[in-house]
Amino acid sequence: MSHSPVSSASSAFSLASHPPAHSSLNQITTLDKNGQEITTVGFNRFGFDSEVPLDVLRSLYLRSHYVLTTNNLDDVNDLDSGTAELQHAKFLQGHAAYQSKSIFHPDTQAISYTTLSRFPPVKLLPPSQRKRILVTGGAGFVGSHLVDRLMLLGHEVTVLDNFFTGSKTTVSHWIGHPNFEMVRHDVVEPFMIECDQIYHLACPASPPHYQFNAVKTIKTSFMGTLNMLGLAKRTKARFLISSTSVQTDRRAITEVYGDPEVHPQTEDYWGHVNPIGPRACYDEGKRVAETLTYGFQRQDGVDVRVALSFSPGKGYPLLLTPLTPFSQVNPYDGRVVSNFIVQALKGEDMTVYGDGKQTRSFQYVHDLIDGLIALMNSDETRPVNIGNSDEFTIGEFAELVRDIVEKVQDQDGDVRTRRVNIVYKEMPTDDPQKRRPDTTRAKESLAWQPRWTVRMGLEEMVRYYKAKMAEGSI
């Protein structure tokens, strides 16, 4: 088992002084394993350029929704001042012009929303290169990150979401943009549109959500996939299904793999799933969705791609499909990373289910989006694992989160009354004991491999949640 992310000698993030105009600004800088600054994400491969500046992308999801907190309306005129920028320097990254100007009033617990003052700059593509892309579940965690990337790249993006677990706020910064459309729609019902590519990510991802209405969950996996494949057949669009946008078990670990008997899991492993357990609605739903996808490929010639995204396995509740800070993630949805971070920031004991020896592999959201885009635009039609092979026990991971939270608190001068403890509770039913992907196929077919360490995602996520808690929104 690899422990490199835990013992990495260099810090993934450093707080560097912002240029002269605001000498007191602290800016987040991301360093790779070799200590070199990462300034872009994406690539130019398979005839598709997906590279965008990291600071612009980060300004979208690491932004504060409340640019100014005030009890005095006279302070509203200060929104564009240097003082306002200083309040959220770590998150604006010098892109204040593209931030919401909403105002939070803590005395009355009210917020005044506004639209963006200006949309972030997007590439101006010629019609021959601009694609019409449909993203189902585009208001969810993975979907909203994918939407941000596709929008910045200059494509026309339509988001389809019923907002059962997703939120309008995750993509609200694009509403009104001529390249963007958001539609409230349940994929269980047919939907008609003209498109070139379909990223099918729609499905509840966390155990509390997908177990809330088990029948609806399996209907979403089957009927939703059936409807989107029918759309792809009619429009001749390329179709990509993520057997994980919901941390699936397919094969899994993407839920298709269930509680795998083979470790690490390759794409050829068929899985080990309980078909009648509390997680079966999600696990079996993902498996039948894959069956349906390849049925349409063989019978109707639909151009399909299957991504097996590894990240936190849902059951345990791991947090993000990728590790990332964010507004797009519900801090109370029952997944491990968000649970640990919020508990530690609040000074509450951190809850580990089971003995803490079950393992998970986590990947950063930018790596996942890179992998999805690479697969969509490649010629690879076999299932492909997209994940990080660095593996942690849950107990080790809890200790790492606690250490990073303490590091951030120390940097910010916060005083702790005590060190939070790690407490152990009963293991959820059918929770997988081991999950780690074999990503050889992705490396060979897509020239893709993770660039980001777990520490990078955790520290960024801790800072995001810390800011949200200071706002009073958590």
452 φ/ψ angles, rounded to the nearest 5 degrees:
-110, 145
Locate tokens 């999801």: which residue? 61
Sign of CA dihedral 141, 142, 145, 146: negative
Measured CA to CA, the distance from residue 264 to residue 47 in angstroms comes to 32
Report, in angstroms and rounded to the nearest whole number, the Rg of the chain calculated over CA atoms.
21
Measured CA to CA, the distance from residue 398 to residue 402 in angstroms comes to 6
Burial class (CB in 10 A: 0-12, 13-18, 19+), 136: buried
Tokens for 321? Answer: 């499909």
Q: Which of 210, 282, 353, 465 is catalytic?
A: 282
Locate tokens 């094969």: which residue? 251
- 98 catalytic residue (yes or no): no
Burial class (CB in 10 A: 0-12, 13-18, 19+), 473: middle
State how far Cα 155 lies from the chain centre: 20
Cα end-to-end distance, the chain, whole Å:
35
Residue pair 467/64 in contact by the 8 Å Cβ criterion? yes
H or E element that contains 156: strand 156-161
Sign of CA dihedral 389, 394, 399, 405: positive
Active-site residue list = 282
